[in-house]
Structure 1
Amino acid sequence: MLTFLALAMIIVFIVLLSKKKLSVFAALTLVPFIFGIIAVFVTDSSILDLFQWIKEGIFYKVNSDTGKVSMGVISPAITILFSILYFDIMLGVGLFDPIAEFFIKKAKGDPMKVLLSTVAVASVVSLNGDTTTTIIICVAAFLSLYKQLNLKLSYLAIIIAAPIGIWNQLPWGGPTIAAATAIGVEISDLFAALLPGLLVAQVAVVLVTAYLGKKERKRLNFNPRDAKMVSKEQLDKMLSAIRDNQPELKRPRLYWFNLILTLGSLAILIKGDIHGSIIFMIASVVALAVNYKTVEECNDRIEALADDVLPTTIVTLGAGVFSGVLTGSGMATALANSIAGIIPTSLGSHMAPIYAVIAAPAITFLPQDAFYFGIASVIKGVMLQFGITPMQAAVASMVGQSFRLISPVIPALYMLCGETKQNFVDFQKEYIKYFWVVLVVYLAVYGITGALPY
């Protein structure tokens, strides 16, 4: 019954969003709340348990056996709140104007070069293994440029997400640690098996990005052969859209101060010793106080930026309700066990690739720990009976990472969709439309290397 409830909740959530019957925040909150009430009766729990599940999804949960604390979405939510506020302040003062102007001058309006620059930056930044940090940096660096050149913001979103899904699988990435721990293999050995697939997948992502760049060239009637013939007047016209945007907010004399403040904040964030929310909260206060001298100016900026800050933050908190009910009610565990039972044992050695494909939607909609410690740990025992090693089982469980970066339980993705002005389901569709190739690459490369037996 819990498996049915979990599937029904996920399907209703997707349908309501795709049909645009509810906002993302409403769907993330109301749908799990209603199904949570049903789960209360099914599991013979109390209504207070439902609110406890929600509390744990938003704030934190303490494992009664191990004492381990698992944080909810409150941590990334506050980081997202202050990071959006900070970078919106920086956009206003003109910090990113020189970056946008640089790419405009180098690309000479060429959409392909801009898109390729985006995927390059996203790939490098994502090496730190943190999804939120990568999205924050890439959106801040490129959003204004895409708007000025009239490039599709949906492409910006999927181009940022694709390399994150690849390089989150580094040894310090959450998925690799969870898979290695749940299945009982060495992280270094697992990464060595994954590396060929990651490298080829990166090449595939670059090629897809180049293809999207060609599409944008055609849509915008840009001929790369004419790029060198772009006149100074034409370039100035493109650049003026940046230079003349809200000039009263620009602070060119404080450029180096703002640059050092931003780089210092990002360096501390990437190092990881201080929580991101604290870094950007303090940085926002400093930025406001230095760039805008009066209390009235500071208050005006905060009020003006509320439209950007609040929607994404409350959506992130809504994701805590979704994941809290799904996990706390037992629906996540039930769904994990049911998916594990779908794969027929008669398939023998062919179980690995079949499991890898079936696991892709599971890892998309289930919390990461629920998938690896629920499904992956169970499937490992079944595979052993057919001569499939734990390492091969671990690799199979990682193939689903090709679609992990469209998961509704990743809070930072709502910030990405909010900043690029698109519906979450539309973002999922756009990603799958172009980056399904990453799943195929993993299956092919791991089959060739023997990491995934066929």
Structure 2
Amino acid sequence: MLSIIGLLTIAIIVGLLISNKITPIVALVLVPIVAAFAAGFNFAEIGEFFNSGIESVMSVVVMFIFAILFFGIMQDVGLFDPLINKMIAVSRGNIIAVAIGTVLIAAVAHLDGSGASTFLITIPALLPLYKRLKMNPYLLLLLVGTSASIMNMVPWAGPLGRTAAVLGMDVTELWRPLIKVQIIGMILLIGLAVLLAIREKRLIARRGDFNKNVYEEANPLDKTAQDEASLKIASLRRPKLLWANALLAIAIIGILVWGVIPAGFAFIIGVSIALPLNYPNMKDQMDRIKDHAPNALLMAAIILAAGSFLGILNGTLMLDSLAKDLVIILPAFVLPYIHLVIGFFGVPFDLLLSTDAYYFALLPIVEQVAATAGVSSLSTAYAMIVGNIIGTFVSPFSPALWLALGLAGLEMGRHIRYSLLIMWAFSIVLLVISVLIGVI
């Protein structure tokens, strides 16, 4: 009975998340409570499960809030502008250089872990270059999306935070083995960018200008709104403090890698230094916090809701029961490799499941089933992260991707047709390499 209730609970949550009709918070909080009542537990017991779940994710919540604030402030002050501008200047006029520059610019832009800001920085800056060189703008989206996906393995981005919440571990510890996967992934992506650029040169010679008559140049903002937005961005820049901010960012990232203090504490210190350093006026400091607070609090709220969900499902033993019954149903030879099978199909899963559904609903089941076959929880998590994360920005469930499509004037269907197989193949290669180097 517990297995049936647990399966129905997860199926309903996945269905609600896929439907996009309610927020993940509502689905992750209310459905498990109803399920726990149906399984015969009372309010007092459910409250204990809730406390247990919240405690397991609290460190992740703190880290997320202050990491988003910190990197948001670094974007505001223009820390990454010189590097991005230099890359654009160097790559101008050469198709292969433009493709490589796209990968590097997107990697730098995604240091804050925000897909929306990454596309806001890269698409407007690079789209004119692609048009001038008659390059396919879907190649721009593919390269930016894949580069941002590799960088999305940082601990302050969504997937690792969700995974840490599910496993009940420190997100920085989870990230460290993935650093070498990120480095290898970026090197491979640069190689892929070169190959795709060579192909693009041949296609340009054959087809001419891709951009001609494909879409009209349009910007959803009128001229006045553009000018106001540009003035606000310029007023926040602090070019004279570039080196001070660079040293601060390097120090905080160095502390994260070193692991001498908790990640949340490191980012709290970083925010506390960055605000008065760049904005001595208290009102300006509060404005910076208010601007970035919505993103920080939304992610924190989702993680807390996930803690409630996991606390209830673990406390009621639904996951344990479901895993045991799945072990009975599945062929024995599949169990030791189930995490690799799920990782292999991780990118297609992005077309069926939202990020929340993948990590909060699917990961706990796979982790429990694989554990019965002696597979460590970390190995399962890494297989599912590496296998899935490359497809983050080919999924219709990604709000940031819709923003990118709007900025570039492109279509979701054509983007999926252009990018899906390439991203999936890249994901499989990275998964195999992760196995060979011992991460999985």
Would you call these one fold, judging by a TM-score over 0.5? Answer: yes
Q: Which amino acid aligns with 2:42?
A: S
Deviation at 1:420, TM superposition (A): 6.4
8 Å CA contact 2:386–2:431 kept in 1: the answer is no
C-alpha distance in 2, partners of 1:6/1:332?
A: 7
C-alpha distance in 2, partners of 1:158/1:402?
A: 12
Choose from 302, 323, 345 the match for 2:310: 323
Choose from 43, 59, 81 the match for 1:47: 43
Partner of 1:149, secondary structure, is helix
1:338 aligns with 2:325: yes
8 Å CA contact 2:337–2:370 kept in 1: the answer is no
C-alpha distance in 2, partners of 1:11/1:17?
A: 10
C-alpha distance in 2, partners of 1:198/1:255?
A: 26
Q: Deviations over 1:34-53 (max 9, x none)?
A: 333322342x3222221222
8 Å CA contact 1:154–1:420 kept in 2: the answer is no
Partner of 1:258, secondary structure, is helix
Pick which of 277-286 and 201-210 moved more: 201-210
Deviation at 1:268, TM superposition (A): 0.8
Q: Which runs of 5+ in 2 are unaligned?
A: 128-136, 156-162, 168-176, 212-226, 347-357, 405-411
Deviation at 1:96, TM superposition (A): 1.3
Alignment correspondent of 1:379 = 373
C-alpha distance in 1, partners of 2:384/2:20?
A: 27
C-alpha distance in 2, partners of 1:140/1:422?
A: 10
Partner of 2:22, secondary structure, is coil
Q: Give the direction of change, closer, same or farther, for the CA distance of 1:323–1:420 in structure 2 (3 Å limit).
A: farther
1:305 aligns with 2:292: yes
Q: Which amino acid aligns with 1:82?
A: F
1:161 aligns with 2:149: yes
Q: Deviations over 1:23-71 (max 9, x none)?
A: 2333333xxx3333322342x322222122222222x3xxxxxxxxxx3
1:145 aligns with 2:108: no
Alignment correspondent of 1:98 = 82
Aligned 1:244-323 pairs, distance under 5 A: 246-323=233-310
Pick which of 260-269 and 305-314 moved more: 305-314
Deviation at 1:101, TM superposition (A): 0.8
Partner of 1:22, secondary structure, is coil
Q: Give the direction of change, closer, same or farther, for the CA distance of 1:313–1:166 in structure 2 (3 Å limit).
A: closer
1:25 aligns with 2:11: no
Aligned 1:79-158 pairs, distance under 5 A: 79-108=63-92, 112-117=99-104, 136=113, 144-149=121-126, 156=144, 158=146
Q: Deviations over 1:134-191 (max 9, x none)?
A: 7649998886234533587797455443577799xxxxxxx9xx99xxxxxxxxxxx9
8 Å CA contact 1:17–1:27 kept in 2: the answer is yes
Q: Deviations over 1:254-278 (max 9, x none)?
A: 1111111111111111111111211
Q: Which amino acid aligns with 2:328?
A: G
8 Å CA contact 2:339–2:366 kept in 1: the answer is no
The percent identity for this pair of structures is 23
Alignment correspondent of 1:38 = 35
Q: Which amino acid aligns with 1:284?
A: V
8 Å CA contact 1:159–1:209 kept in 2: the answer is no
C-alpha distance in 2, partners of 1:407/1:249?
A: 33
8 Å CA contact 1:86–1:284 kept in 2: the answer is yes
C-alpha distance in 2, partners of 1:305/1:396?
A: 33
Q: Which amino acid aligns with 1:25?
A: I
Q: Which amino acid aligns with 1:22?
A: I
CA-based RMSD of the aligned residues comes to: 5.3
Q: Which runs of 5+ in 1 are unaligned?
A: 61-70, 123-132, 168-174, 180-190, 192-196, 224-239, 381-389, 409-415
Deviation at 1:116, TM superposition (A): 3.0
Deviation at 1:92, TM superposition (A): 1.3
TM-score by length of 2: 0.62
Q: Deviations over 1:351-388 (max 9, x none)?
A: 7667842687898556867744x3224235xxxxxxxx
8 Å CA contact 1:53–1:325 kept in 2: the answer is yes
C-alpha distance in 1, partners of 2:270/2:258?
A: 16
C-alpha distance in 2, partners of 1:104/1:320?
A: 42
Alignment correspondent of 1:57 = 53
C-alpha distance in 1, partners of 2:315/2:143?
A: 35
How many residues are paired up? 360
8 Å CA contact 2:150–2:390 kept in 1: the answer is no
Q: Give the direction of change, closer, same or farther, for the CA distance of 1:46–1:354 in structure 2 (3 Å limit).
A: closer
